[in-house]
A and B are shown apart, each in its own frame.
Chain A
Amino acid sequence: MKSEMRVKVLVAAVALPMGMLTAYAVADGPSDGLATPESFSTIGDTATRSAALFTELGKVLTHPRCVNCHPAGDRPHQGELGRLHQPPVERGADGHGLVAMRCSICHQAANFDPGRVPGNPIWQLAPREMAWEGKTLGEICAQIKDPARNGGRSLEALVDHIGTDHLVGWAWAPGFGRRPAPGTQKQAGALVEAWVKTGAACPK
C-alpha cells in the first residue's frame, strides 16, 4: 500500500517539471517549415496541385500570428491559444483602435522585447471583410481571391502582398515569447506564386 503511494507521488513530481519544459519549448522553439512548390510537382492534376499548394499556404494563414489580427469580431486576439487581447481593445473606426486606446500607444514601430510587445509601423487590425477566424481554408481561399473582399487586389498583387509586405512580414519575426509563422516570408510568397500560376484553385 505504502510503496504504491510513493510511486504515484514520484510520477506526479516528474510529470510536472517535464510539462513546464514543454511549455517553454512551445513558446521559444523553432517554427515549423513550409514545403517548397517543387515538392508538389508529383501531383499530376493541375487543379488538385493548386489546391494542395493553397492548403500548404494555409499553415501560415491559420497560424496565430495571422489569425490574431484577422478576427471575426472587433477585438484582436493574443498569444498562441487565440484568447482575446487584454487589455480589451477594439478595432475602432479605422482599425487602429479607439480614441483613448490607439494601437500605436503600445505597439510602436518595432518589437520591444523588454516589454514583450510586438510592433510595426502600421500595426492595425485587418478590415472586417478580411476576417479569417473560424473560417475553413476553402472559405479563406474564396475570400482572398475576391477583389471585393481583399482590398481590390489582383492575384499578382496577392503574391506581392504576402511575399513582401512589411506588416505581413512581421509574422516571421514576432518578438519574444511568440512563435513565428511557419517557414519564411519568401517561402510563403513562392507558394502563393505557384498557386496563382496553377490557376488559384481552392481546397474544399
Chain B
Amino acid sequence: MTTLSLTINGRAHGPMDVRDDLTMNDFLREHLGMTGTKFGCGAAQCLSCAVIVDNPDGTSYAGPTCVVSAASFNGKAIRTVEGHAKNGELSALQKAFIDHFAFQCGYCTAGFLNESQVLLERLAKKPVVRADLEKTIAEALDSHLCRCTGYIKYHEAVRDVILADPGRYLV
C-alpha cells in the first residue's frame, strides 16, 4: 500500500491509500470515475490512456496510465481530457478537433488531445519554422494509434490551431 496525493486538473486529491499493484488507469477510471481517459491496449502501444504530466521544472509530457502504477504518481500534477475546457468553454484544440471532424469513434481522442496540447506548449517555448511544421506534428503524434481516421484530420486540426497563431508557435 502507498499513500497517494496528487493534483488532477488543478485540484488536489488525497491523501489516500492505494494498493501498489493498482494501475493509474484503473485509479482514474474506477476510483475517481474519470472515464475520459480510456483503456485501449493495456500495453503502452496505443496511448488512448495518455494523460499530461506536468513536471516541476515547467516541462510536460503525455504518458500512458495503463502500464504504470497509481502509486508512482504520488506528488505529481497531471491533466486529463476532463480538464481542457475552462468554464464551459472548449479549448482551441478541442474546437479544432470538432470543426475538422478529426475523430470518429473518439476512443483515441483524449490521448491525441493531451499529446497535441503538450506539443503546443512545447512550441510556445521553442517555436519551429513553418517548413518544419508538418514534420514536427507528425513526430509528436506518431506514438498514438488510431484505427478509424487514418490520422490526417487530427494533423490538420493541430496544424490549423498553430497557423491561427503563428507568432506564438512559429519562428
Is there a direct interface between A and B, measured as CB atoms under 8 Å apart in the complex? yes
Which residue of A100, A102, A112, A114 is within 8 Å of B139 (Cβ)?
A: A100
Taking a contact as CB atoms under 8 Å apart, the answer to whether A116 and B62 are in contact is no
User: In the complex where A87-B45, A115-B23, A117-B44 touch, is A106 in contact with B68 (Cβ < 8 A)?
Assistant: yes
Q: Are B68 and A117 in contact (CB under 8 A)?
A: yes
Q: Is the CB of B67 within 8 A of A87?
A: no
Enumerate chain A residues within 8 angstroms of B118, measured Cβ to Cβ. Answer: 100
B residues contacting the other copy or chain, number (CB 8 A): 25
B69 to chain A, nearest CB (A): 6
**Interchain CB contact under 8 A, B69 and A101:** no
Give the shortest distance, in Å, between B2 (CB) and chain A (any CB): 13
Minimal beta-carbon separation of A171 from chain B (angstroms): 20
> Within 8 Å of chain A (Cβ to Cβ): is B77?
no
Tell me which residues across on chain A come within 8 A of B67, comparing CB atoms.
106, 112, 115-117
Given contacts A87-B143, A117-B67, contact A105 B61 (CB under 8 A): yes
Contact of A86 among B45, B63, B115 (CB under 8 A): B45
* Inter-chain contacts of A98 with B (CB < 8 A): 139
- A-B pairs with the 3 shortest C-beta distances? A115-B67, A105-B63, A117-B67
Q: Which residues of A are found within 8 Å of B143, using beta-carbon distances?
A: 87-88, 100-101
Is there an interface contact between A114 and B45, defined as CB atoms closer than 8 Å?
no
Question: Restricting to A89-119, which residues have a CB under 8 Å from any CB of B?
Answer: 98-102, 105-106, 108, 112-117
Q: Which residues of A contact B72 (CB under 8 A)?
A: 108, 112
Q: Given the complex, which residues of B lie within 8 Å of A106, measured CB to CB?
A: 44, 63-64, 67-68
Q: Which residues of A are found within 8 Å of B45, using beta-carbon distances?
A: 86-87
Q: Decide yes or no whether B171 CB sits under 8 A from chain A.
A: no
Closest Cβ of chain B to A182, distance in Å, is 27
26 interchain pairs, CB-CB under 8 A? A87-B47, A87-B143, A88-B142, A98-B139, A99-B122, A100-B62, A100-B115, A100-B119, A100-B143, A101-B143, A102-B61, A105-B61, A106-B44, A106-B67, A108-B68, A108-B69, A112-B67, A112-B69, A113-B21, A114-B21, A114-B23, A114-B69, A115-B23, A115-B67, A115-B68, A117-B44
Interface residues of chain B, those whose CB is within 8 Å of chain A, are 21-23, 42-45, 47, 61-64, 66-69, 72, 115, 118-119, 122, 139-140, 142-143
Q: Count of A-B contacts with CB under 8 A? A: 52
B68 close to A112 (CB less than 8 A): yes
Tell me the smallest distance from the CB of A48 to a CB of chain B, in Å. 46
CB <8 Å contact, A100 and B61: yes
Residues of chain B within 8 A (CB-CB) of A116 are 43, 67
Cα–Cα distance between A86 and B62 once the two chains are bound (Å): 17
In the complex, residue of chain A having the shortest beta-carbon distance to the beta carbon of B44: A106
Q: Report A-chain residues with C-beta under 8 Å of the C-beta of B66.
A: 115
Which of A98, A99, A100, A101 has its CB near the most chain B CB atoms (within 10 A)?
A100
Q: Which residue of B lies closest to A106 (CB)?
A: B44
Are the CB atoms of B64 and A105 closer together than 8 Å?
yes
Which of A100, A112, A117 touches B140 (beta carbons < 8 Å)? Answer: A100
B111 to chain A: closest CB distance in Å?
12
Q: Give complex CA distance A113, B67 in Å.
A: 9
